Structure formats: C-alpha cells, structure tokens
Chain A
Amino acid sequence: DTAVSQTPKYLVTQMGNDKSIKCEQNLGHDTMYWYKQDSKKFLKIMFSYNNKELIINETVPNRFSPKSPDKAHLNLHINSLELGDSAVYFCASSLPTGETQYFGPGTRLLVL
C-alpha cells in the first residue's frame, strides 16, 4: 500500500531530450508537491498544487512543467534536459495546510 509512488525510479537520458516523471498518491490529499534534491543534499521545493491548481511556483526554468490531471496525480515534464538537471526529484502530498508532507521514494535523474 504505497502512499506516494513515483515512476520511474531511475532515469538516464541524453542532454536535449524531453522526459516525464509521474507521481500518484492514494492518501486522498488535495495538495501535491515537487522537490529537487541536488548532489549536496539540499532539498528545494519546485511546485505545489492544491486540488489541481498551481499554488507555489518557485524560480524554476520554464522547461519544467507540472501537470495535474486529477488531484491524485502530479506529473513533471522536463523539456530540453540539461546536465544541471541531474538530481533526485521527490513528489510529496499533504492536506492543504501542509503540516505533514508524505514523500515518494524519489526519481534519480541523470543527464549525460
């Protein structure tokens, strides 16, 4: 009974490619997030959606586009991948107040 799941777990791709990461939560939460964790382990929020509506949009290149088909899913599409995009991307979900966020297992993206 995985609460927050992400696919794929690993993603190795070439510069310039377009890729998507999928996230699904079965907790019934209205709010979902995407975080990026770099090699130094800093975890930084990228986006937050509440009930399919964009709430938080940090300073992220517009090559990154989140899409929420329904409130249980928040996918991340990345265009024209760059070397600096290599990181671990975590999806999370919570109640609207965000008091406890449940994180997925992460997607390890390596851009060659």
Chain B
Amino acid sequence: LAKTTQPISMDSYEGQEVNITCSHNNIATNDYITWYQQFPSQGPRFIIQGYKTKVTNEVASLFIPADRKSSTLSLPRVSLSDTAVYYCLVGDLRHGSSNTGKLIFGQGTTLQVKP
C-alpha cells in the first residue's frame, strides 16, 4: 500500500491561501487520493478526493500532477476555524479489492491559523 509523506506542521494567517503538499511516490494505478481533516477531540472528516488533474469543491481544491506522485491540498482564505490536522491518504476504491477501504493514515499536517 502506498505510503504518504507530508509536512508535520504549517503556520498561516487568517485570509491567506494555504497549500499542503503530500508525496506518494509508489501510488498504484487504482489508488485514489483523499484528504481528511481532524479537529481536536473529533473524528476525521472527509474534505476532498481525486484521481488526477484538479478537483474543486466548496471547501478546497486538490491538484494532482500527471505522474500522480504528489498532490496539493489548497485551502482558500483560511480562518481560525481551519486550524486542524490534515491527512493525505491513498487507497484502492475498487469494489471487491482486498484493500478496498483500507485507508493508511500518516502523521498528518498540523495547520495552525493565526489571527
């Protein structure tokens, strides 16, 4: 299963755009890239998911280069409430695969947003 590497921590200020990059050099053909957010004392929450190129939703954008060996989560104009741990994961979503649903969480990136 593909392993991910991301910065342990990042600091930002309110209103700034934050980009968190994740490396997944041995990503497999059937793997999707997913990002989760975890606030203190809560369970992780799904943010965004993609396979290649760019995906955007109401919360964030996900940029994936052609080789898929890395991905960047972009949070536009962060606020104090975006302070959390952000996890990058790769996983096989094929129905019936023995690895389906087997999310491997890394250490995550602790984002601290300052006023």
Contact = CB atoms under 8 A, between A and B. Distances in A.
Interface string B38-57: 00011111100100000000
B49 A100 contact: yes
A98 B49 CA distance: 12
Main secondary structure of the interface of B (DSSP, over half): loop
A33 B100 CA distance: 12
Interface string A70-98: 00000000000000000000101010111
B107 interface: yes
Nearest to B101: A98
Contacts of B107: 40-42
Interface in B62-76: none
Given A31-B101, A45-B102, A45-B103, A99 B43 contact: no
B44 A43 contact: yes
Contacts of A100: 34, 46, 49
B105 A101 contact: no
A108 to B, nearest CB: 8
A56 B97 CA distance: 11
Interface residues of A, number: 27
Contact of B94 (A40, A45, A97): A97
Contact of B91 (A42, A44, A55, A98): A98
A64 to B, nearest CB: 17
Given A96-B96, A98-B103, A106-B42, 17 more contacts: A41-B107, A44-B105, A45-B102, A45-B103, A48-B102, A56-B102, A97-B93, A97-B101, A98-B93, A98-B101, A99-B32, A99-B34, A99-B93, A100-B34, A105-B41, A105-B42, A106-B41
Interface of B: 32, 34, 41-46, 49, 85, 87, 91, 93-96, 100-108
